[in-house]
Structure 1
Amino acid sequence: MRTRGSLVRMVGLCLLAGALVAGTLLPVAAAVGMVANGASETVESLSAELADEPPPLVTTITDREGNPVATLYDQYRVPTKVDEISDAMKWALISVEDRRFYEHHGVDWKGTIRAALNNTSGGDTQGASTLTQQYVKNYLINVTYRNDKAGQQRAQENSITRKLAEARIAIQLETTMSKDDILAGYLNVVEFSRQVYGVGAAARSYFGTTPDKLTVAQGALLAGMANNPSTYDPWAHPERALERRNFVIDKMVENRKLSKDDAAEVKREPLGVLPNGPDKPAANCVGAGPENGFFCQYVEDYLLEHGMDKDDLYTGGYTIRTTLDRAANHAAKESAEQQVGKSEENVANTLSLVKPGKDRHEVVALAANRDYGPDAALGQTEYSLPSAISNVTGTGSSYKMFTAAAAMDRGVAGIYDTVQSPSSYTSQVFTGGGEQCPRVARGTRAYCLTNASEGGSGSMTLQTALQTSPNTAFVILEEKAGMDAVLDMANRLGMRKTMASNAATGAKPDPGAESAEERQSQIEFFGPSENSPGKGSFTLGVSPTSGLELANVAATILSGGVWCPPTPLAAGGVTDRNGKPYVVEEEQCEQAVPEGLANTLAVGMSKDDLAGGTAHAAARGVGWNRPMIGKTGTTQHNGSAAFVGGTPQLAGAAMVFRPDRPFGGLVDGGPGNVRATENDSGNMFGGKTPARTWFGAMSKILEGQEVLPLPPADPKYERMN
């Protein structure tokens, strides 16, 4: 049976050789049933890909100045032209893999016949593949089928069918590409182990050099690895790698590309690779570092949400110029860490900054006290704390600005009109209160509430109410304006993903909560099971919130009511591997509310930093003297808090919350002394940690910039009663 099988293989190889000589490979193969119908078209198509389409490349993310921030890739590859590769590297590869490379036309007849005789006689299997054929195989494995294990296996199976197709492609390829281009193509596509592909990346990550400077010893090491990268990995198997390298050097001598004396000297050199494995950039946003990683992650999330395929993002070789201001991001990170240590258990402190404008809202900074990274033991996280809907317990009274805007929009009250603010209040419109509230029907209680310690009592202007934040005043305004108007206003001003999330639009408490106490905490935050933000608690900010969207609300107000998507992309900032613009279809800016309403709301929110305002102490701590808008917020049990504000140049939102076990309290003992409690007690307020974070960063970022006034109020929205 073995003799018969050998004869069959010999006949097949003879057919292969004859077909190649006659130039009629595919008709012959089809006649003996070895290649399926349509193979010719496949060969033509793949030949065109090899000639014209480059393999996966590295995508680079930069800051607004064009300086690299991070790289995204599936295969680390640095495209290299043939004249950028040293002769030592090229001749090392040719000598060990295909010494007649410049003589054949894609298939080496001598090698093919030798391998056929050896294989059919029961000797060691020999492939006899030329570099052109190996280029075809490596392209199939590393490019065409890189995400298809079955395809990769087919591309390297030991069968006549595969050899036929591979040889035909190699022959055709040599009619469309020069020898040097084929050599460069191979050296750009081949793997060198550990996610390093191509000689350009290998030169950098193995030796810290460029491919044009590769020495004989270095080139021989890399050429020897191409045959079996994992076996000859110089860090994992240094002895094997050294033996293989020296074997390649001997082949260079045989091929008359190196003298015996020079070879002997080169073989005495150590491997010379960089210590501790290849020096290559991180393949994702971890490479942006602990400070800029959150911004990088938002860039990735934003592009995927706007239609880019993730595989394309990681292999397309794009250059993505972002709006990241490194100095601002550093100031934001520094301020967040000054208030809350990066390793503080279960406490996240974030700051998101957006530049106002009527044609773009550029994201300037996304920072957190925690470092961006994969090591949870060091307090790191790869969750998008400053941009995602990460604060599940809400931002408290900061949502009162939506109620104020809705009241102005509906003609209920202007900023200088007097509003009621009793010390306690029982709503006749909303239900869903706790056991302390009157029962209005079986199983249903009215919604009742009192003012927090940072609120006022009696009556006051709407502007003063925004400054001092009494709960009762805004629930009463919520009744008068109508819940639909308040919810719509939150969406219009910028809380679009937040409002669309399940939790923000009425998610019920989690039935899988571990304890009765946890379920009760959820009920207190979200309301009873039938409750939703359609109840009176919405204006008190109980909904999960994105800090970035909250910052963009301030940007919308300071842009005359023009909402734009918070973009991390500089204008025209995405280009493909060829330097051509890649168009990202972003949402169009829109006049979300009348300009007069937005300007008047800004005036209404302009007193929070002044004496009597909830953020006054934080503002005074940095000597703040700029016109601004601001609103603090604190949730039930002091478990999370926020400050949202801005100037005409820059808007932002700071949030402090419990990211891991959300329900419970936070204690603020001053800068650097903030911790989560094991119960519902706490003393956190928006005027403490969040406001100090906001003012600490903004005072540094805006230092030296012009002090600009807020826009004037529109009389239409000043008084309505």
Structure 2
Amino acid sequence: MAPRSTQHARRPVFRLLAAFAAVSAAGGVLSAGLVVPAVAATGSLTSEGVDIFNELPGDLGDRTLSEASTITYADGTPMAKVYDQNRSVVAFDQIAPVMRDAIISIEDDRFYSHGAVDVKGIARALVSNAGGGSTQGASTLTQQFVKNVLVQQAVQEGDSEAAAAAVEHEGVDGYARKLREMRLAVGVEKEMTKDEILAGYLNVSYFQNNVYGIEAAAQFYFSKSAADLTLPESALLAGMVQNPAAFNPVKYPEASVKRRNVVLSRMLELGKIDQPTYDAAVAAPVGLVLNPSRQGCLSAGTAAYFCDYVVRVVESDPAFGATPEDRRNLLRRGGLTIKTTLNPVIQDITQKAVNDGVNPGQEVRSAASYVQPGTGHILAMAQDTTYSPDEDQIGFTTLNYNVSQAMGGGIGLQQGSTFKPFTLATWLKSGRSLDSVVASPNKGNDPYSAFTACGQKLRGTKPYTYGNSESSSSGSMTVRQATANSVNTAFVSMEKQLDICDITATAQSLGVYKASPSKNFLTGEESLDLDQNPSMTLGTNLVYPLEIAGAYAAFAAEGTFCKPTAILEAVDTNGNPLQVPSADCKQVLDVNVARNVTEALRQGWTNGTARRVGKSEMNGRQVASKTGTTQDSQNVWFAAYTPRLAGVVWVGHHQGVKSLNGARINGRRVGKVYGATIPGPIWAEAAGGSLAALNAPKLTFTDGTNDGLRTTAPNGKLRVPSVVGRSVSSATAALEAAGFNVQVSRSRVSSTRVDAGLVAAQSARTAAAGATITLTRSSGAPPAPRPTATPTPTQTSQAPSPEPTQESPDAQDTQETPDDDE
């Protein structure tokens, strides 16, 4: 007689074996319901087994599988896959019939004839395992599906113990696991058809090499979809399921072929294929056509940095989920398809231009971003490095110089004179002109009190000293000339006549903030607000190329700023659209202000600091440009735009503060470096090549010098933006942005052109800076005129008397001269 301790240890095994027996006795019932009737078994131990089985949970729970998300270019071509598990879920009819036959033949040839549990298999396993060995065999495809789903659930929840328990084979735990599978399998077959279970099994199965599911396996091993698999390919993949590591065709081709032929033999035996078909299949080579999918953005080639930016957008934007974990899981498990804004043609041309200008593999770096005016769509993002976490090699890095630190970039870059257009726009908003004359000494030395920020004189013990970098001057010049030739001292003179907080507001309305947080000197708080000091207008703030490209795109779009956006649309695994971040386009500058900025920057291209840049590449296209050079040429920039395309190029060292002057670039020693020296040609090659490749028309800017389009009118007053037809709130915002005060009349006027409630008239079209503009709202169309009386028969020979002439119902509209730009 066995010792008591041994008897005690064996009792759980006997109880579980009894449950197996109860299940076997109830065999025909299992496929019809979730509960095993007690009358189906006899004996107290067997009844106890029924109780054990009935007490187990019958709901498998969430069967959603972790699925790879696909990031595409704007034309829909794939860019990269992002995933925890490389899987693409497909439906039953998207799997080749021969693949379905192969997996059933080798794993469960009676799948369509038995219930969730194979009673014959259970009986065979009970006999085999009664001696105390591990549980063997008897698992149906449904049970295997259950086991794999349990493993996936545990993995997704980070529960390693649950994942291990789901595949336990030994002793009591093995029997318990098997019994639980059976109970859950009964529930699954009550909810799903056999076809759905088979598809689910093939979707959840692991195929080695970080490949999950039949679709990803077909793509990885044979570069085709699961629907197109041939018989030998199907048999090879079906054979892998039993032991993916041992039958990995990449590492063990002979073993995988041997296993494939076992599957084919079983298919022949079951009558799924005939002898000639079998003979041809076993004679076929492995036939791998590998299509490895590297994890995430490493596979995106020249778009890898942009791809990384897209991933960070999804993981940080609340549009994709309430918490960072929710957003990460949605991206890496949700099977999304994310169509981005990146144009593959422009991207390739831009990457080539960047590499031509600054060859990869040297310490000097270059980065470029291009944005579409009017939409904010990021069309290209390139830099002369290879996207890689292996940063020990020169030119290998994951650091994206185009974007902020929060989005994978660095601490930011000083932008030099590419900031000056924001000061210029503020100058024009204040009612001043391009033809205003300002002081432009060669050097300057001013006390801080000469500058105003938020209405207060700046305080500083040392004077602010400055000079010219890209040009020299003494005396005075117009703002137009100062912009074209990038004269630092002239812009500081302009800055002294403005409020630095107003300049900050202009830049930030165009999306330009600091690349990383710092303390605001006015508030003492951590923020991304630009540092407000006298050197601001010369571009000493740390920014990044993408936001500068977005700001210049707003100039090209006549004052409409759109946040640079990377995502056009996103759909979930079922094709349902998801909300994506908005470009939030809005008019932030008066049209005339933007046009005057463009006029000044065009002269920089034609006869200013960029006069020697890219004329042949741009092939006569109109360009507005601004060069930028920081102190000692540590960073050099070129920012420019056409009506269709805005872009920025930066060149500098990848770390530390170091001058480019005298550096060795592309194998030759360079001299003094400016924005037009290296970045300018890169910009022109990329922009000119892209527009030519797209066969884009040669659009022209609306010239701010034409009569009626100047910020200042011929009488010396400011032009007042036309706001007729706008809502009161929109009109007020536009007028206040242009430097005017606003009041709304209590009276209303009728108008056939303007809907009721909108602005029907404004009191002036030219006015002094700060003047009050009165807005009058529309009351809608006037009543219809009274009908004329029908003449009686006795009056037909005499013309009726006309009604008294009335003033035209639109008289008050026509009294105002319409804007020249309407």
TM-score (norm 1): 0.82
Q: 2:366 aligns with which of 349, 374, 384?
A: 349
Between 251-260 and 560-569, the greater mean CA deviation after superposition = 251-260
Which residue, out of 160, 185, 199, partners 1:184? 199
Q: Deviations over 1:567-616 (max 9, x none)?
A: 2233xx322222232221425222222222222222232211122x1111
Q: Following TM superposition, by how much is the alpha carbon of 1:338 offset from its aligned partner in structure 2, in angstroms?
A: 1.8
Answer yes or no: is 1:224 the counterpart of 2:239: yes
1:99 counterpart = 2:109: yes
Task: Compute the displacement of 1:550 (Å).
Answer: 0.4
- Does structure 2 retain, via aligned residues, the 8 Å contact 1:349–1:656? yes
Instruction: Pick the aligned partner of 2:464 from 444, 447, 459.
Output: 447
2:680 paired residue number: 691
1:11 aligns with 2:15: yes
2:492–2:534 contact (8 Å) kept in structure 1: yes
- Shift in Å at residue 532 of structure 1? 8.0
SS at match of 2:466: strand
2:638 aligns to what? 643
SS at match of 1:13: helix
1:666 corresponding residue in structure 2: 660
Distance 2:603 2:48 in 1: 84
- The answer on whether the counterparts of 2:36 and 2:50 sit within 8 Å (CA) in structure 1 is no
Match of 1:171 among 186, 189, 192: 186
- Judging changes above 3 Å, is the alpha-carbon distance between structure 1 residues 16 and 469 closer, same or farther for their aligned structure 2 residues? same
For the Cα contact (< 8 Å) 1:96–1:223, is it kept in 2? yes
Kindly provide the CA deviation profile for residues 518-570 of structure 1, in whole angstroms up to 9, marking residues without a partner as x.
xxxxxxxxxxxxx9822222222222222111011111122222211112233
Q: TM-score when scaled to structure 2?
A: 0.73
**What is the SS of the residue equivalent to 2:542?**
coil
- Contact 1:220 1:245 (8 Å CA) reproduced: yes
Cα deviation digits, residues 40-63 of structure 1 (max 9, x gap): 4xx4362xx44xx4x233333333
What percentage of residue pairs aligned between the two structures are identical? 31
Contact 1:671 1:689 in 2 (8 A): no
User: Residues of 2 paired with 1:710 and 1:668: CA distance?
Assistant: 41
1:709 to 680, 690, 701: 701
In the alignment, is the contact (CA less than 8 A) between 2:567 and 2:580 conserved in 1? no
Equivalences for residues 85-234 of structure 1 within 5 A? 85-142=95-152, 145-146=155-156, 148=158, 149-158=160-169, 159=173, 160-234=175-249
Cα drift, residue 35 of structure 1? 9.6
Cα displacement string for residues 7-27 of structure 1 (whole angstroms, at most 9, x for unaligned residues)? 421321322542683743699
Match of residue 334, structure 1, among 332, 352, 355: 352
Q: Which residue of 2 aligns with 1:582?
A: 578
**Within-5 A mapping of 1:70-89:** 70-89=80-99
On the 8 A contact 1:491/1:499 being kept in 2, the answer is no
1:322-401 matches, within 5 Å, as: 322-343=340-361, 345-357=362-374, 360-373=375-388, 377=393, 379-388=395-404, 389-390=409-410, 392-401=412-421
The superposition leaves residues 489-533 of structure 1 with CA deviations (integer Å, 9 ceiling, x where unpaired) of: 2111221xx3362259679xxxxxxxxxxxxxxxxxxxxxxx982
After superposition, the C-alpha distances for 1:229-285 in whole angstroms (9 at most, x for unaligned) are 1232223334543444444445445655567897677556554434xxx42333322
Q: Could you tell me how far apart the structure 1 residues matched to 2:144 and 2:137 are?
A: 10
Offset, 1:390:
4.3
CA contact (8 A) 1:35 1:161 kept: no
CA RMSD of aligned residues (A): 3.5
Structure possessing the higher relative contact order (Cα contacts under 8 Å, 6 or more residues apart): 1
Residue from 591, 611, 631 that aligns with 2:626: 631
Distance across 2 between alignment mates of 1:384 and 1:500: 12
The answer (yes or no) to whether the contact 2:415–2:629 under 8 Å persists in 1 is yes
Tell me the distance in 2 between the aligned counterparts of 1:701 and 1:132.
Answer: 55
Q: Which residue of 1 aligns with 2:297?
A: 285
Q: Which whole-Å CA distance do the structure 2 matches of 1:263 and 1:623 have between them?
A: 63
For structure 1, which runs of at least 5 residues remain unmatched after alignment?
A: 433-439, 508-530, 677-681
Q: Is the 8 A contact 2:412 2:514 kept in 1?
A: no
2:446 is equivalent to residue 427 of structure 1:
yes
Following TM superposition, by how much is the alpha carbon of 1:686 offset from its aligned partner in structure 2, in angstroms? Answer: 0.8
Q: Deviations over 1:377-399 (max 9, x none)?
A: 47343332334454733121111
Superposed displacement of residue 146, structure 1: 3.4
| Corresponding letter in the other structure for 2:138 | A
Deviation at 1:315, TM superposition (A): 2.8
SS in 2 for 1:490: helix
Q: Which residue among 310, 313, 333 is the counterpart of 1:299? A: 310
1:33–1:606 distance in 2 versus 1, CA, 3 Å: same
CA 322–165 in structure 1, closer or farther in 2 if over 3 Å, else same: same
Q: Report the Cα offset of residue 638 of structure 1.
A: 0.8
Partner of 1:510: none
Aligned residue pairs total 661
Distance 1:238 1:271 in 2: 7
User: What's the CA shift for 1:209?
Assistant: 4.3
**Is the 1:475–1:536 contact (alpha carbons within 8 Å) kept by the matching residues of 2?**
yes
Q: Is structure 2 residue 577 aligned with structure 1 residue 567?
A: no
Give the 3 Å change call, closer, same or farther, for CA 14–506 of structure 1 in structure 2. Answer: farther
Whether 1:63 and 2:79 are equivalent positions in the alignment is no
Alignment of 1:471-482 (within 5 A): 471-482=488-499
Taking structure 1 as reference, are residues 619 and 503 closer, same or farther at Cα in structure 2, changes over 3 Å only?
farther
Structure 2 CA distance for aligned equivalents of residues 26 and 303 of structure 1: 51
For residues 264 and 10 of structure 2, what CA distance do their matches in structure 1 show?
35
User: Gapped runs of 5+ residues in structure 2?
Assistant: 39-46, 321-326, 452-458, 523-528, 718-768, 770-822
Q: Which residue of 2 aligns with 1:437?
A: none
Q: Give the conservation status (yes or no) of the 8 Å contact 1:134–1:186.
A: yes
Normalized per residue, the structure richer in helix is: 1
Aligned mate of 1:402, from 403, 409, 422: 422
- Counterpart residue number, 1:523: none
Partner of 2:507: 490
Instruction: Kindly provide the amino acid, as one letter, of the partner of residue 687 in structure 2.
Output: M
Cα distance in 2, alignment partners of residues 645 and 229 from structure 1:
55
Conserved 8 A contact 1:390-1:544:
no
